[in-house]
Chain A
Amino acid sequence: MLLDYVWLIPLFPLAGVLINAFLGRWLPRRLVAAIASLAIVASFAMAAVLFFQMLGLPAEAEGGGAGRQRIVPIFSWIVSGDFVVEANILLDPLSIVMALVVTGVSALIHIYSAGYMAGEEYHNRYFTWLNLFVFMMLILVLGDSFLTMYVGWEGVGLCSYLLIGYWFERESAANAAKKAFLVNRVGDFGLALGIMLIFATFGSVAFGQVLPAAASIPAGTATAIALLLFLGAAGKSAQIPLHVWLPDAMEGPTPVSALIHAATMVTAGVYMVARTHALFEVSLSALNWVMWIGALTAFLAATVALVQKDIKRVLAYSTISQLGYMFLALGAGAYAAAIFHLATHAFFKGLLFLGAGSVMHALSGELDIFKMGELRKKLPWTFRTFLIGVLALSGVPFFSGFFSKEAILSGAFEGGAIVPWLLGLVTAGLTAFYAFRVLFVAFYGKSRLDKKVERHVHESPWVMIVPMALLAVLAFAGGYIGLPRVLGIGSAVEEFLAPVFADSTLVHTAGEATLEWLLIGLSVVAVAAGILAAWWIYVRNWGLAGRLTQSARRLYDLAFAGYHADRAYMEAIVQPLRMLGEGLAGAVEQRSIDRAVNGVGELVGLAGEGLRRLQTGLVRNYALAMFLGVVAILAYFVLRGVLSW
């Protein structure tokens, strides 16, 4: 059966990696980009074919058939006594949706990159890493055990790290990469511990064995496991308080920001929580944590996005905020809604980043929206696609973001999470405001461009425009797979994903039609208010923004600095650690090197001379340390003896 060839999906990117890594240096630049893009397109085609195959199968397992879920064995990875890990692919509605989103958006961004990175020096390296990233991401979403997921998890982190630091000549890029890496390690640490605890509890790490057994473990253990996993998810998906790396990650090339830091990798945490929801549901407190962290992140990140001037930073905080939405949905048990929003967000946020890249491309790398203006006329295609992205992000009716956000908010409300729902509603208004603020400031009004820059402004080549246009189509139409329930047609995506979440014990009572309409109406009002406010401040009364800023200076500064999260980390964690490190290594190192240099002269020649070294060198310190160790070990035995003999 065709579904058994699912391994082709990750194989194509892997082939791309191998070709470009080993032959890329000798291949023409265009060919390198073409190979990399083709690999992903082929991978996407395969995923699409499998998707339609799957649609032809019965949704539920019946009469010996496994339904739409199947495990495709690849090989036995670890077989050690009762510790068995199979490296298998888990093909089910959730993984195929993820694979489709990942390969689809990746394919478009690969093609876009061919134009965007055309002038870059380390061209083949870029595409090799990008392909490697897609491969790892596919391992992450297709693996059928925690361990294979962890392999992909670490892999995408590594690629992200390398790609953020791609412009390594820039100090800031190197620092951003380092920061992303360190913060993510905190998350990875949680994930690794969580997996370890899962193994200790269940004796297995395969989804197929752990998740069905989840209900049978003590709630305390489940809480610990779920919170550790969520720590991993929060790190990867930039949730408070591990969000600090994402804004800085914008130092990477813009297609990387679009692909990794908006559309795919950062959603890995959402995918993981959705995949392992059975574990989370055993512990309602863990689920509550997910919901509240998500809601707070959504709200706070949106307020920060309100005041940023750097277009990519606005989008970065927006991504954090939108990811918060997804976690809010997960916490409320609206898993399908979270995955739905994950997909639409991948489309419109990917599109917005590509648009921002196109703007930067045209303006010689300018990022400050207040130094743009009137781009509407100069970059017509970029403007049109960006507009669609903004409409979708804001949740304007009939655009994709509207439907998925609606699904989340109604899910939260029906799940009884009123305060998070309210936060989500306010965030919807804020989102509309900052999205349109960018649009109005950058694309409308008078040109505030640097004269030198202005002369060179040019629309991007078709190889960049076409992917943007395609994404724009998706950003508009992608929402129609998940129409609100109240319309009576039914949400296609929800039905498709239903088998995966069928075991959910959380009850969602569908509200009455009037209530549903009321909820939709409320969020439309919030969005409209946000858009109107943006229009009022940035189009109608240009200059009002400055006065408003003055009158609320401190609040503005606070938000602009992202509530000083970076400084808090610096002072609370980084500095003490640095001091500890210096204390442990620095002091010893300094002295021993100096001593070694001074002492060496006396050494050569007679061994007898060396004896003097015993008196003057550091050997005695080393020996004392050893002595101390011996005493400590013996003291332990003595104390044990005193207590037990």
Chain B
Amino acid sequence: MTVSQVVFILLSIAALGGALGVVFARNLFRAALALVLSFVGVAGFYVLLEAEFLAMVQILVYVGAIAILIIFAIMLSRRMMSSETQPWNEQWVGAVVVAAALFAALVFILSRVDWPATEAQVPADSISQLGQALVSPDFYVLPFEVASVLLLVALVGAVIIAREQ
């Protein structure tokens, strides 16, 4: 087993364990903390794939912004801090069966996929290339602009929801 494989397994444990924690935690606050763990695990994958920039973004945006925002929201609403919720409900059997079936189907299919892989090295200046691709008309400037509309929509929506009547 190579080092990177060991690291991969450890990171997987972190990501999946965190995700399980989110689902099974009785306390919402703990669930949010588990979410952070899961996010960090995913950031680790990016590092392993030599996509350091994405790893940074993952940490900054998901851990630094999203998870923290969730934790703020939970802490600010008193009832949620203290209340214990029941993660199991009456349809858990069905859910487990369906989830297991989906898992089995995916495993079955993905196991016989001939994954396309590239031998190319990661370019040294990946960040500048990424930046250029993002604003280059031949690559992603259009989705970039469309994404700005999406953000605008989200912003307007958030303001409307949050505003007092």
The residues of A with any CB-CB pair to B shorter than 8 Å are: 606-609, 611-612, 615, 620-621, 624, 627-628, 630-631, 634-635, 637-638, 641, 645
In the complex, which residues of chain B have a beta carbon less than 8 angstroms from the beta carbon of A638? 105, 108-109
Q: Could you pull out 11 A-B pairs where Cβ atoms are within 8 angstroms?
A: A607-B161, A608-B74, A608-B77, A611-B80, A612-B85, A615-B86, A615-B89, A624-B94, A627-B102, A637-B109, A638-B109
Q: B89 contacts A608, CB within 8 Å?
A: no
Considering the chains assembled together, what is the distance between the CA atoms of A620 and B77 in angstroms?
24
Q: B98 contacts A634, CB within 8 Å?
A: no
Q: B80 contacts A624, CB within 8 Å?
A: no
In the complex, which residues of chain B have a beta carbon less than 8 angstroms from the beta carbon of A607? 73, 161
A627 touches which of B86, B89, B98, B106 (Cβ 8 Å): B98
Max chain A C-beta neighbours (<10 A), residue from B89, B91, B101, B161 = B101
Considering the chains assembled together, what is the distance between the CA atoms of A645 and B114 in angstroms?
13
Interface size bucket, B side? 20 to 34
In the complex, which residues of chain A have a beta carbon less than 8 angstroms from the beta carbon of B98? 624, 627-628, 631
Q: A606 contacts B77, CB within 8 Å?
A: yes
Q: B85 contacts A634, CB within 8 Å?
A: no
Considering the chains assembled together, what is the distance between the CA atoms of A225 and B63 in angstroms?
67
B106 touches which of A606, A609, A634 (Cβ 8 Å): A634
Considering the chains assembled together, what is the distance between the CA atoms of A155 and B73 in angstroms?
61
In the complex, which residues of chain B have a beta carbon less than 8 angstroms from the beta carbon of A624? 91, 94-95, 98
In the complex, which residues of chain B have a beta carbon less than 8 angstroms from the beta carbon of A606? 77
Q: A615 contacts B85, CB within 8 Å?
A: yes
Considering the chains assembled together, what is the distance between the CA atoms of A612 and B84 in angstroms?
11
In the complex, which residues of chain B have a beta carbon less than 8 angstroms from the beta carbon of A609? 77, 79
B91 touches which of A608, A620, A631, A641 (Cβ 8 Å): A620
In the complex, which residues of chain B have a beta carbon less than 8 angstroms from the beta carbon of A615? 85-86, 89
Chain B at the A interface: mostly helix, strand, loop or mixed?
Answer: helix
In the complex, which residues of chain A have a beta carbon less than 8 angstroms from the beta carbon of B105? 631, 634-635, 638
Considering the chains assembled together, what is the distance between the CA atoms of A184 and B101 in angstroms?
45
Q: Is B127 close to A, CB under 8 A? A: no
Q: Is B163 close to A, CB under 8 A? A: no
Considering the chains assembled together, what is the distance between the CA atoms of A630 and B103 in angstroms?
11
Q: A634 contacts B109, CB within 8 Å?
A: yes
Q: Is B99 close to A, CB under 8 A? A: yes
A551 CB to nearest B CB, Å: 65
Known: A606-B77, A620-B89. 8 other contacts (CB 8 A): A615-B89, A621-B91, A627-B102, A628-B98, A634-B102, A635-B101, A638-B108, A638-B109
A-B contact count (CB 8 A): 45
In the complex, which residues of chain A have a beta carbon less than 8 angstroms from the beta carbon of B161? 607
Q: A608 contacts B102, CB within 8 Å?
A: no
Those of B57-79 within 8 Å (CB) of chain A:
73-74, 77, 79
Q: A641 contacts B109, CB within 8 Å?
A: yes
In the complex, which residues of chain A have a beta carbon less than 8 angstroms from the beta carbon of B112? 645
- A-contact bits for B135-157, CB 8 A (1 contact / 0 none): 00000000000000000000000
Considering the chains assembled together, what is the distance between the CA atoms of A607 and B158 in angstroms?
11
Which residue of chain B is the closest to A612 with respect to CB atoms? B85
Which residue of chain B is the closest to A645 with respect to CB atoms? B112
A631 touches which of B74, B77, B102 (Cβ 8 Å): B102
In the complex, which residues of chain B have a beta carbon less than 8 angstroms from the beta carbon of A645? 112
A74 CB to nearest B CB, Å: 49
Considering the chains assembled together, what is the distance between the CA atoms of A608 and B70 in angstroms?
10
Which residue of chain A is the closest to B74 with respect to CB atoms? A608
- A-contact bits for B20-59, CB 8 A (1 contact / 0 none): 0000000010000000000000000000000000000000
Considering the chains assembled together, what is the distance between the CA atoms of A624 and B73 in angstroms?
27
In the complex, which residues of chain A have a beta carbon less than 8 angstroms from the beta carbon of B28? 611
Considering the chains assembled together, what is the distance between the CA atoms of A615 and B90 in angstroms?
10
In the complex, which residues of chain A have a beta carbon less than 8 angstroms from the beta carbon of B106? 634
Q: B86 contacts A608, CB within 8 Å?
A: no
In the complex, which residues of chain A have a beta carbon less than 8 angstroms from the beta carbon of B79? 609
B80 touches which of A608, A630, A634 (Cβ 8 Å): A608
A615 CB to nearest B CB, Å: 6
Considering the chains assembled together, what is the distance between the CA atoms of A350 and B73 in angstroms?
79
B110 CB to nearest A CB, Å: 11
In the complex, which residues of chain A have a beta carbon less than 8 angstroms from the beta carbon of B99? 627
Given contacts A624-B94, A631-B98, A608 and B85 within 8 Å (CB-CB): no
| A-B CB proximity, top 3 nearest | A634-B105, A608-B77, A631-B101
B25 CB to nearest A CB, Å: 13
B79 CB to nearest A CB, Å: 8
B15 CB to nearest A CB, Å: 21
Considering the chains assembled together, what is the distance between the CA atoms of A607 and B77 in angstroms?
10
Max chain B C-beta neighbours (<10 A), residue from A606, A621, A630, A631 = A631
B84 CB to nearest A CB, Å: 11
A69 CB to nearest B CB, Å: 62
Considering the chains assembled together, what is the distance between the CA atoms of A609 and B74 in angstroms?
10
